[in-house]
Chain A
Amino acid sequence: MPILEINDLSQRFGGLQALTDFNMTVGQREMVGLIGPNGAGKTTVFNLVSGFYTPTRGEIRFEGRNTSRLKPHQVTALGLARTFQNIRLWNDMSVLDNLRIAQYHWLGYGLADAVWRTRRYREREQRIEVKCREILEMMDLGEYAGELPKNLPYGLQRRVELARALSTNPRLLLLDEPAAGLNSADVDGLIRLIRWVNLEFKIAIWMIEHQMKVVMSLCQRLVVIDFGRTIASGTPQDIQNHPQVIKAYLGDVAL
């Protein structure tokens, strides 16, 4: 069974048809890419899948369950995490706290436990702390646990955001332009990191990315959209030579 199945998804904002009949499946532990020119509707797809928008039409099935009417935090609780194009970390909280709060759904205690400091509270907090430190160590961020994200360099902030997304226990991870703003050395590191995350955490990854180097070397499949419509899908090699894709990116070749 595919982990994510999108059928005839359409989204309309007032007079703007942002997305038309979008279809997509993501298999278990698969890495796929979504590309397209600026304003094609890529982030709209991610916003629909993660629950920020309720689709005008169509359905989204995550592990067989229809999630198109769920709120973002409910979708996350099912096992779908995402990062943002522009980093959205909690800048005035330590890196460790950033990861901790991402476990909100698995806290397993409530207000009364927090205020009474019950045994359950202490055990759960302990478990969360251990797990977060573990993720930080795995992501090579251990030494920054106590730092504020705003004091970290950009590349590390990206990595913290990825670590935070992993802290929610996802089975599918949506990455919205993970390589944006990175230099080419960082990009190579990122490619290795994403491949490693995919293997180590055994999760499926679906990414939006403009840097061809990233999608070509990571993704098994690519989907290309333009003006909200799917114009091509297939292996990276197919896509590279697809006439419509070339047209979408470069305009008509009949110069």
Chain B
Amino acid sequence: MSMSGRLLRIVLILLGPALAAAACRLAPILNEGHLSPAHTALIYGGLFLPLAAGAAAALSARLPACLFFILAAGLVMAAQLRFLDNYFLLVIMTMGINIIFASSLNLVNGYMGEFSCGHGGFMCVGAYVGSLISMAFFTSSKLFGASLLPPHLAPLLFPLVLIGAGLVSALFGLLVALPSFRTRGDYLAIITIAANYIIISLVENIDFIGGPRGLSGMNKTVGAMREVAEMPWMLIWVLTAVFASIVFLYRLVGSTYGKSIPAVCQNEIAAEIMGVNTDRVKLTAFMVSSGLAGVAGALYAHVYSYVNAQAFSILKSTEALVMVYMGGMGSLSGVIMAAAAFTLLVEGLRFAIPFINSLHILPAGYEISPVWKWVLIPLCLILLMQFRPEGLLGNRELSHFFPRLNKWMKRTSSEEEPDAHSGNK
């Protein structure tokens, strides 16, 4: 990339927060209700669309990225204007968290062909570490005393919480990565389950972070962000993190460096003899995977404003497995779609179960409870394994089925390609 191009991108990226700040200034005027809704929409549209377009142009010229930005900007705008109720937003945010959670597991279970069933444990680490960082830095709590940083910096520095949670979870990923040097398959699967249980019991037995009572101090951070500006902050962070994680994984598995991961899966001996440091590849895959699960966990904690270790038990790990195997192992687009569909399915049960009860088709005195979720999710997994073990897309990306997508996936502006050939300019 040329120097001027890089500069332009930086300016465009900085333009976003500047416009957002302007929007905050306008917010009180808008909320007083002197303006008609159409007017309000126009002002916000005028503010957010250039922000979205600028960010899209700044970060990538690829069509999916642009679409994501426009969708994300639309969601944020709709949330800001209160077109969407809180329940709907919660579903959207859960979907985003599930996308990160599932696509990170896909790196290990899909691309590397290992069977990790303790992914919930890393999410747990991320949730707790994220909460603790956020409490220590942005809130005054009994646990840490006064906040280390002024709380009004929270909206700016919140990514630090996510990064910190990700890094610590990545370290916990070693718990699984190190045994993976010597074992594979079933034995490693058992180790991962054990790791999940170890993490849960560990957290439950540390009393100062709440033990089995859970932890809820991080909601003050969300409050602090809302105090600075009344915006759907968590939605913004979830969408940002989803974008960052997908780009991270997409670029990783697209590079020769990252292709060594499926190489280890397809033939470990060949990989080793062709100069691939298989131990390092496994270490990288496990750490990246658990790190991103940690980011998902930190987001989860702040979205729900409460964490409890039991929420990340083997059942949570099973959810991740269902999403990965539903979408297709080793298919990033498949898992993203599966995570979205799965979230809707689970939320749908919330309405379906009372509906079924209201039909009175069951014998008198019998009712089905929401616990049926835990019958249906594992059942999904059994049916998938039985009838389509490779998942819906199975090792292929969406563009494989719709070749015309391929054309759109290519960069629309080819400004980077000639640079790569000519080197210094």
Mark A residues whose CB is within 8 Å of B: 50, 52, 71-73, 76-77, 81-82, 84, 88-93, 97, 100-105, 107, 109-111, 113-115, 117, 119, 121-123, 125-126, 128, 164-165, 167-168
Q: Is the interface of A mostly helix, strand, loop or mixed?
A: helix
Within 8 A of A (CB), among B274-301: 274-278, 284, 288
Residues of B within 8 A of A93 (CB): 259, 262-263, 266
Sample of 20 further A-B pairs with CB below 8 A, known A90-B262, A93-B263: A52-B273, A73-B273, A73-B278, A76-B274, A81-B273, A89-B270, A90-B271, A92-B262, A93-B266, A97-B259, A101-B271, A103-B275, A104-B257, A107-B257, A109-B257, A114-B252, A114-B258, A115-B252, A122-B419, A123-B423
Smallest Cβ distance from A80 to chain B, in angstroms?
A: 9
User: Given the complex of chains A and B, what is the CA–CA distance between A89 and B271 in angstroms?
Assistant: 9
Residues of B within 8 A of A50 (CB): 273
Q: Could you show 29 A-B contacts with beta carbons less than 8 Å apart?
A: A52-B269, A71-B277, A72-B272, A77-B275, A81-B274, A90-B266, A90-B270, A90-B271, A93-B263, A101-B256, A101-B259, A102-B274, A102-B275, A103-B256, A103-B275, A104-B260, A105-B275, A109-B257, A111-B284, A111-B288, A114-B251, A115-B251, A119-B1, A122-B420, A125-B255, A128-B256, A164-B274, A165-B274, A167-B274
**In chain B, what residue has the closest Cβ to A77?**
B275
Smallest Cβ distance from B4 to chain A, in angstroms?
A: 15
Contact, CB under 8 Å: B269 / A88: yes
User: Given the complex of chains A and B, what is the CA–CA distance between A113 and B423 in angstroms?
Assistant: 16
Among candidates B251, B267, B416, residue contacting A89 with C-beta atoms closer than 8 Å: B267
Among candidates B260, B269, B271, B272, residue contacting A71 with C-beta atoms closer than 8 Å: B272
Mark B residues whose CB is within 8 Å of A: 1, 247-248, 251-252, 255-260, 262-263, 266-267, 269-278, 284, 288, 395, 416, 419-421, 423
Contact, CB under 8 Å: A92 / B269: no
Among candidates B247, B252, B276, residue contacting A73 with C-beta atoms closer than 8 Å: B276
Contact, CB under 8 Å: B259 / A91: no
Contact, CB under 8 Å: B256 / A100: yes
**In chain B, what residue has the closest Cβ to A90?**
B266
Residues of B within 8 A of A117 (CB): 251
Residues of B within 8 A of A107 (CB): 256-257
Residues of B within 8 A of A92 (CB): 262, 266, 395
Residues of A within 8 A of B416 (CB): 122
User: Given the complex of chains A and B, what is the CA–CA distance between A114 and B94 in angstroms?
Assistant: 29
Contact, CB under 8 Å: B275 / A88: no
**In chain A, what residue has the closest Cβ to B284?**
A111
Q: Please judge, given known A-B contacts A89-B267, A125-B255, whether A82 and B262 are in contact too, CB under 8 Å.
A: no
**In chain B, what residue has the closest Cβ to A97?**
B259
* Most-contacted residue by chain A among B248, B266, B395 (CB, 10 A): B266
Q: Please judge, given known A-B contacts A76-B273, A90-B270, A168-B274, whether A126 and B420 are in contact too, CB under 8 Å.
A: yes
Among candidates A76, A84, A90, A114, residue contacting B263 with C-beta atoms closer than 8 Å: A90
